[in-house]
Amino acid sequence: MTAPTNTFNAQANAQINKPVLKRGSTGAAVQELQRLLNRWETYFGDIDGIFDIVVENGVKAYQHRVFLKEDGIVGNVTWQALYSGAPVNMPVLKKGSTGEIVVMLQRLLQTTGDFNTETSPNFGPRTDAAVRSFQKRFNLVVDGIVGDRTWHALSKVPHYKHLGVLSYNLLSQHSSLKKAMSYEPNSSIAKVSCVSVSANSLLVRENTRLGNSKLKL
């Protein structure tokens, strides 16, 4: 079935007249971006108007949080999500919905302990019960419908790539996860994998074995 999309608020869903920003961009718009990323706690660097790799990583972390394609490019949809502090353009899911987005929802609910069975692309009674359980604990309207406020609450829950929780845009484009990068400086080995982003903190899991070398990001 085709799912309708949310309208979290008028400001977030209106066309935002902002430039597309990416690594190498500079100026006042980048400063605004840095302030927004700092507000959502995915960037803690200087507000200097320079879009470097640290800013790019902050953008990707925020995009992961709100289920967007993690490309580090700040286009209209990412601007909307930054202003609203919530996912945008997400489908409304309810009993009878189908597709990989339902699998993503189930995996999110597995991380919260509300869904304790195998995933499937079908939104059935068990998914409905899991959504209601989550909604009750987060003081939401308990209706089993995953709309804007339920997606917002879900975005605040740490979600992990290794559990297969992908961005909705990535799923819709049939993209797959990239493997974690490995870094091997001479005889030293360091592996770093970004694990999750919650509303209050950026969590990074590091498995590192270093000699005298330093891992630079």
* C-alpha to C-alpha distance for 41 and 25, rounded to whole angstroms: 21
Which pLDDT score is estimated for 159? 72
Q: Is the pLDDT of residue 6 over 90?
A: no
Q: Structurally, how many domains does the chain consist of?
A: 3
Q: What is the CATH number of the domain that holds 53?
A: 1.10.101.10
Residue ending a domain, among 53, 84, 115, is 84
Torsion of CA 61, 67, 72, 73, to 10 degrees: -140
Question: Is residue 94 one of the residues assigned to a domain?
Answer: no
- 154 and 120 in a single domain? The answer is yes
Q: What is the pLDDT of residues 169-201, one digit of tens each?
A: 445 433 333 332 222 333 332 222 333 333 333
Question: Is residue 188 one of the residues assigned to a domain?
Answer: yes
- 109 and 67 in a single domain? The answer is no
Question: Is residue 190 one of the residues assigned to a domain?
Answer: yes
- 80 and 113 in a single domain? The answer is no
* C-alpha to C-alpha distance for 80 and 63, rounded to whole angstroms: 11
Which pLDDT score is estimated for 186? 32
Residues spanned by the domain of 217:
179-217
Q: What is the pLDDT of residues 75-120, one digit of tens each?
A: 999 999 999 999 999 999 999 999 999 999 999 999 999 999 999 9
- 157 and 189 in a single domain? The answer is no
